[in-house]
Amino acid sequence: MVNVSLVFVTRNEEVGVAEILPQMDLSRYAEVYAIDGCSQDATCEILERYGVKVYQQSIPGLGGATMEARKRCKTDAMIFFHPDGNEDFRDIPKFLEYLDLGYELIIASRMIKGAYNEDDSKIFKIRKWANLCFALISNTLFGSRKCKVSDVVQGFRAISCAGYDRLNLDQTNCTIDYQMVIRALKAHLRIAEFPTHEGHRIAGATNFASIPTGIAELKMLLREIRLGKSCLSQGYAQTSQVMQPSLEKRNLL
């Protein structure tokens, strides 16, 4: 069985953490820790009360948090969980199943059959459509018929440390998740997705307003097009392109 770390990623999420943590079974993970972005509220105290070790990130931003998570990780893989209500903690064990099957990047998708996206209740699904456009572009440019990702900006995901290290990720801001997907496609990591239901933020406000986030994603995408595969760590070429099973087959649970 793969040794896995569960990583909480938090910035001022005291209400979400207080509501979600008591419902979680943390005993299934080899390590559990949080990467915090200088929370001004009681987030860190609540996490520590439930036995979760909290590290402050040395580089600001969501990408900085991801890099800190990798730096702190002593296991084979990391599952990223954001305890603000958007993500269903009951889906976390599904990542373990896929990691044990040898997948290197696993994403809880809000875009595939059986999933629910917060925008699904709206007539104009602006955020969903924008994210589907980003997915279409990266799949067309870097994916293949059998190796595609439907939810490229979803942070609720798991990645093997070996896979992560091949990607040389360098975005310190909110574009880290999309960059991870693009480079995973470039490097032919073994990718799987399963459907998830997106919930509502329990309290507080988003850290990522749509328009500046969209512009940042676009800039990062253009840079990735320019860089091609030169950005990957040496050794990526040895990785074989692994056939991805169909979405139905990948929906194991």
Question: What is the contact surface with ligand GTP in residues (CB under 6 A)?
Answer: 9-11, 13, 35-37, 57, 60-62, 65, 82, 84, 86, 155, 201, 206-208
Quote the distance between the C-alpha of residue 194 and its chain's center: 13
**Which residues, in sequence order, are CB contacts of 150 under 8 Å at separation 6+?**
109, 111, 112, 132, 135, 193
Q: Binding pattern to Mg ion, positions 72-91, x when CB under 5 A?
A: ------------x-x-----
Which residue number places its CB atom closest to ligand GTP? 37
- Cα–Cα distance measured from residue 242 to residue 103, given in angstroms and rounded to the nearest whole number: 10
Closest distance of CB 218 from ligand GTP, Å: 16
Q: What span, in angstroms and rounded, lies between the C-alpha atoms of 182 and 153?
A: 10
Considering the complex, state which of residue 196 and residue 244 has its C-beta at the smaller distance from ligand GTP.
196
Residue 13 binds what, of Mg ion, ligand GTP, none (CB under 5 to 8 Å, by partner type)?
ligand GTP
Cβ closer to ligand GTP: 62 or 99? 62
Pairing of strands 105-109, 157-160: antiparallel
86-115 binders of Mg ion (CB under 5 A): 86
Residues 118-157 binding Mg ion (CB under 5 A) are: none
Q: Rg of the Cα trace of the chain?
A: 17
Return the number of the residue (21 or 232) whose C-beta is nearest ligand GTP: 21
Q: How far is the CB of 84 from Mg ion (least distance, A)?
A: 4
Interacting residue ranges for Mg ion, rule: CB under 5 A: 84, 86
